[in-house]
Amino acid sequence: MQSLSENKRGRFFISMIPESNFVDFIRVFCRSGKGGAGSAHLHREKFIPKGGPDGGDGGRGGHIYIEGNRNLWTLLHLRYKKHLFAENGEPGASSLKTGASGGDITIELPLGTLVKDAETNEILAEVTQHGERNILLQGGRGGLGNANFKTATHQTPRFAQPGEEGIEKYVYFELKVLADVGLVGFPNAGKSTLLSVMSAAKPKIADYAFTTLEPNVGIVNYRDGRSFVMADIPGIIEGASEGKGLGMRFLRHIERNSTLLFMVPADSQDINHEYRILLTELEKYNPELLDKNRVLAITKADLLDQELINEIASDLPQIPHVFISSVTQSNIDTLKDLLWQQLGSTHVG
């Protein structure tokens, strides 16, 4: 399947990606409805040959709305909807009857969706709340009927306004997954395994690189009924910010996370070096990502004894860190505490 992807300069390029139910980028042609024409009718009935103007106004064209829906997490439902047209307004009629308004269209979007003008790349809207509803394109106003133009000196206007044209444009819908914690690491760092251990998510897990080809999201239960959302982002490789591997396709999802959990396996040749590569790729993609809270998890810690753990810990980056094992579930609760602390004591799940 071909996909349109965006680089950091705002330019788009075509890439080949596997067919997937996870769709995070869609281009749609949208057009709001045209307003109905006003009526130029003159009142006529028996014994009233010259009753004057009684043309009604045209109905407004249909609006196109966008609305947040927390039950959606992909743009799959829009994959085959390449054109979205709202209805035109009905024309006005005699006896000052206003035409019916055109039917509106509501586009439901997953939380975290950016809506952009496809030509200018301008952000038109951002959907972050469930039930949040905004007009994307306004329908055209209905034209005024001739009754509106009657004056003391011009009592029989035989003209009316046409309806206002609708608005049409190509629109990009770009999803950035909303999650409190984003997992950052090289392929096969154990991110999917950790997500499956800490939440009810069931990501694909296997002992080879690039098992995860799309983001997976899970809800992590914490103490006293609280919770937070964790997202497993497909593995980053060196050069991901320049489009290598799957990086450019999924790096944007990290922008929505408030805390980044860096994961480096204990059997790595140089933990510090791997962490620096990951940090550099994030910085190249978007320097603002370095402002987010960071936690380092050394995975596969069941392979280490306490003496080796102490030796490795002395050379780790100066950020909160923890040695964990998803297999034995060692220090998983400690990791939850550390992440919750980073998310802030006022976080409500």
Residue 10 forms part of a structural domain:
no
Residues 326 and 188 in one domain: yes
In a domain, 15, yes or no: no
Same domain, 140 and 33: yes
Regarding whether 212 and 167 lie in a shared domain, the answer is: no
Q: Where does the chain have alpha helices with state H? A: 191-198, 247-254, 271-285, 306-313, 332-343
Number of domain units in the chain: 2
Whether residue 210 is found in the same domain as residue 65: no
Question: pLDDT digits over 315-347, tens only?
Answer: 888 899 999 998 888 999 999 999 999 987 444
Pair 266, 298: CB distance under 8 Å: yes
- Asked whether residue 145 falls in the same domain as residue 32, the answer is yes
Q: Is there a single domain that holds both residue 190 and residue 275?
A: yes
Cα→Cα distances 314→6, 112, 140, 298, Å: 40, 39, 66, 13
Q: Is residue 18 part of a domain?
A: no
3-state secondary structure 15-66: EECCCCCCCCEEEEEEECCCCCCCCCCECCECCECCCCECCCCCCCCCCEEE
On the 0-12 / 13-18 / 19+ scale of CB atoms within 10 A, 148 is middle
| 168 shares its domain with 189 | no
Per-residue pLDDT of the chain (349 residues; tens, 9 = 90+): 444 444 444 444 434 334 456 677 899 999 999 999 999 999 888 877 778 899 999 999 999 999 999 888 788 889 888 999 999 999 999 999 999 999 999 999 988 899 999 999 999 999 989 999 999 999 999 999 999 999 988 888 999 999 999 999 999 998 887 788 988 888 777 788 888 888 865 544 434 444 444 667 788 888 888 888 888 877 665 554 444 444 455 677 778 788 999 999 988 888 898 899 888 888 888 888 888 899 999 998 888 888 888 888 888 888 999 999 988 889 999 999 999 999 874 444 4
Specify if 19 maps to a domain: no
- Amino acid letter, 99: G
129 and 241 co-located in one domain: no
Is 99 a member of any domain? yes
203 and 145, same structural domain? no
Domain boundary pick from 175, 207, 234: 175
Q: How would DSSP label each residue in 182-225? A: EEEE-TTSSHHHHHHHHBS------SSTT---S-EEEEEE-GGG
Q: To the nearest 10°, report the CA torsion of 176, 179, 184, 189.
A: -120
Q: Do the Cβ atoms of 67 and 173 come closer than 8 Å?
A: no
One domain for residues 193 and 56: no
**CB–CB of 235/250 below 8 Å?**
no
Query: Does residue 100 form part of some domain?
Result: yes
* CATH assignment of the domain containing 313: 3.40.50.300
| Residue 58 and residue 128 in one domain | yes
Q: Which strand ranges, in their side-by-side order, compose the sheet holding 64-68?
A: 105-109, 64-68, 133-137
Q: What is the pTM of this model?
A: 0.68
pLDDT at 235: 60
Residue 36 has phi, psi (to 5 degrees) of -70, 150
If you count them, how many residues does the chain have?
349
pLDDT given at position 248: 52
The amino acid present at 339, given as its one-letter code, is: L
Q: Residue 65 forms beta bridges with which residues?
A: 106, 135
Question: Considering the domain boundaries, does residue 7 fall inside one?
Answer: no
Q: 250 with 165, same domain? A: no
Which pLDDT value is given to residue 17? Answer: 39
13 within domain boundaries: no
Per the structure, the complete domain to which residue 138 belongs is given by 25-175
End position of a domain, from candidates 144, 175, 206? 175
Give 186-200 pLDDT, tens digit per residue.
877 778 888 888 886
Q: CATH number, domain at 42?
A: 2.70.210.12
Quick one: tokens of 275? 């962490």
Q: How far is CA 330 from the centre of its chain?
A: 35
Of 112, 140, 175, the domain-final residue: 175
